Structure 1
């Protein structure tokens, strides 16, 4: 039985982090636009946190999982 490549699982986690961030941005933007009812402060927080998650979380994960230099 072939062993699973840990890089494939890590790649999937990074893409799920991007997807989650994108969902937060979309929900925050919909709340800001009035399509979804909710507090204005929550909409801004969702939008900003989602953008940070989308752009920076995959980079932080990749840096953490980087192979050590020999």
Structure 2
């Protein structure tokens, strides 16, 4: 029983880390996008808008998608 519990705990830790890494990368994308739009980075503004949208998607949508996907596998 403890081996199964340890395995479940390890899976939960990996999933938690994956969700948080996605959120952190999303914040980095948004910050880079805003820097591009403000002119701090010399890239086209369209790239900045695209990075910001992708970052917002990563921060708000992807954690919920992954959580639902993993929840359905556990049941």
Q: Which position in structure 1 is the counterpart of 2:16?
A: 11
Q: Distance in 1 between matches of 2:39 and 2:31?
A: 12
- Residue 31 of structure 1: how far off its partner (Å): 0.5
Number of residue-to-residue matches in the alignment? 67
Q: Distance in 1 between matches of 2:40 and 2:54?
A: 20
Corresponding residue to 1:65 among 61, 67, 70: 70
Structure-1 separation of matches of 2:46 and 2:35: 13
2: CA distance, partners of 1:42 / 1:65: 32
Deviation of 1:36 after TM superposition, in Å, equals 1.0
User: Normalized per residue, which structure has more helix?
Assistant: 2
Following the alignment from structure 1 to structure 2, what is the Cα–Cα distance between the partners of residues 37 and 54?
A: 25
For 1:31-53, what per-residue CA distance to the aligned partner results, in whole angstroms no more than 9, with x for missing partners?
00111110111111000011011
Where do 5+ consecutive residues of structure 2 fail to align? none
Which of residues 21, 24, 27 is equivalent to 2:32?
27
Aligned to 1:56: 61
Question: Structure 1 residue runs of 4+, over 4 Å off?
Answer: none
Structure whose alpha-carbon radius of gyration is higher: 2
